[in-house]
Amino acid sequence: MALRYLVFILVLIVTLAGCRRGELKPNELPDTRLSIESINLSGENRLNSQVRLSWYGTDQDGYIKGFEISLDNQNWDFTTVQDSVFIFALETGSDTTDIDFYVRAIDNDNNTDPSPAYLSIPLKNSVPVASFNDNLSPRDTALCVSTFSWEATDPDGDQTVQQVFVRFNNGQWTEISTRENLISFVVDTSIGSGPATAQLYYGRNDEPENITIDGLQVGAENVLYIKAVDLAGSESAVDTSQSFYLRNKTPGADVLWVSAHTPNIAAAYRSFLNKESVQYDFLDYGSDFGSRQPVYWDPTFKLILNLYPKFFLDAPASKFPNPVTPDDVVILNYLAPIIQDYKSVGGKSLVTASIDKTLATNEVSAFANAFAIEDIDRSNGFFRVRPIDSVQPQPGYLDYPLLQPKNTEISTPVIVAADAEEFYVAQFDPRGNWEGEGLVATVRRDGNQKMTQVFFAVELHAFHKTGAPEPVEELIGRILKDEF
């Protein structure tokens, strides 16, 4: 009995020794899975190079703190996300490839899945697309400057577009920035006709890039071509702009004349300028209800204006819609910021424009200071000047001609800007119940007391009277040729 008891005790001790409390089990390694186990596509059905992938990991005795991703099972990048959009690059000259994609989970004990999840991704490169926005291209005729809006896209992701090239006519392809979708070209103004080069401007920059493009034809029709190249070296089809006629700056012309009136009124101003032998280039922004105004005042018109030291504008009170912005305003609004910059670099301007008294204060303030006025006179009644009345130069300008309207004119007088002077004041019909003054023209001078800006709040062609020389003709000629 004693021996049996001893054996039982020994067996029990051995058994208990094998089941001691608190013994740790071996750490479990994490496991990784991709949401897609395989992609069975070939030929034209292959994926494009932009692919969304997702993955997840599990750990039996802890939690997943992150993942590592690799394309060669050798070099790994850590991430905490569980999905992403990848843009894979294809080798130059190749339009198909298979991408090896690995992902492995890492647990809270820094253990890594020894068997990463794997996916073979069959890719086919997509060809990029480059195109012009024809609605925002130059009109039928361009004076010195042409502006284009373009875009380049790629089904593989627009980020894969690596290069964009443009070419005028039969010129050389020139690379431009992929980030600048608004480009302008200022032609070499020394070329009267035939082949010419141009400087490139990006966006609304005042300074050109160090890029010269050839292939333009002055005095002829021109087109601009564009193409894009992606990461794989695939080229887009070439897109072509609308054709436009390019005319250059007239030799000796130092005045840019813009008319926002109809052609018959513009003809009167043309007569004034011609009789005074003013050398000018002309832009017609009044025909066809203003449809000929520039698509982009800035940069297109700004770059044109900067080629001339003097500017002359005749404009009605009409509003003009803009094809790019939702604006529907008077032409003075479009011009105001450009004229401010133009004045700061020494440009001089003569403006004759009617202003509608119903314009709100904020509408007038948007352009007033740019044209040497503070506001319009908002006095009660209406201001009417008759043929028997006169528009008289003020002290300091008494050697300027007296003006008289051909017919009774209803106008809106102005208030002079603090840094400007009164130039002309009009007599008016006392029965018009007008309670204000009759200031209709202002003038600004620089530090040397030279005229820099003249603004008439009346349309000068309405004061056209016979004579030799005609007063309005004499006035315009003197300002543009002598004062400026």
What separation in angstroms does the CA of 443 have from each of 350, 456, 478?
9, 9, 14
Asked if 320 and 329 touch (Cβ cutoff 8 Å), the reply is: yes
**Domains contained in the chain, CATH given:** 31-124 (2.60.40.10), 129-247 (2.60.40.10), 255-483 (3.40.50.880)
Question: Which residues touch 6 (CB under 8 Å, ≥6 apart)?
Answer: none
* CB distance 331 to 372 below 8 Å: no
One DSSP character per residue, 271-340 reads HHHHHTT--EEEEE-SHHHHTTS-S-IIIIIHHHHTT-SEEEEEE-S-EEE-SSSS-EEEHHHHHHHHHH
Position 125 scores a pLDDT of 80
**Mean per-residue pLDDT of the chain:** 91
Residue 160, pLDDT score: 85
pLDDT (tens digit per residue) in 432-484: 889 899 999 999 999 999 999 999 999 999 997 766 678 999 999 999 999 99
Q: What is the pLDDT of residue 13?
A: 32
Report how far Cα 354 is from the mean position of its chain's Cα atoms.
30
pLDDT at site 42: 66
- State the greatest distance between any 2 C-alpha atoms of the chain, in Å, as a whole number: 155
* pLDDT of 301 over the 50 cut: yes
Query: 23 falls in which pLDDT band (50, 70, 90)?
Result: low
Percent residues over pLDDT 90 in the chain: 77
pLDDT given for residue 326 in this prediction: 87
Return phi, psi of residue 389, to 5°.
Answer: -90, 165
Q: Tell me, what's the pLDDT at 168?
A: 98
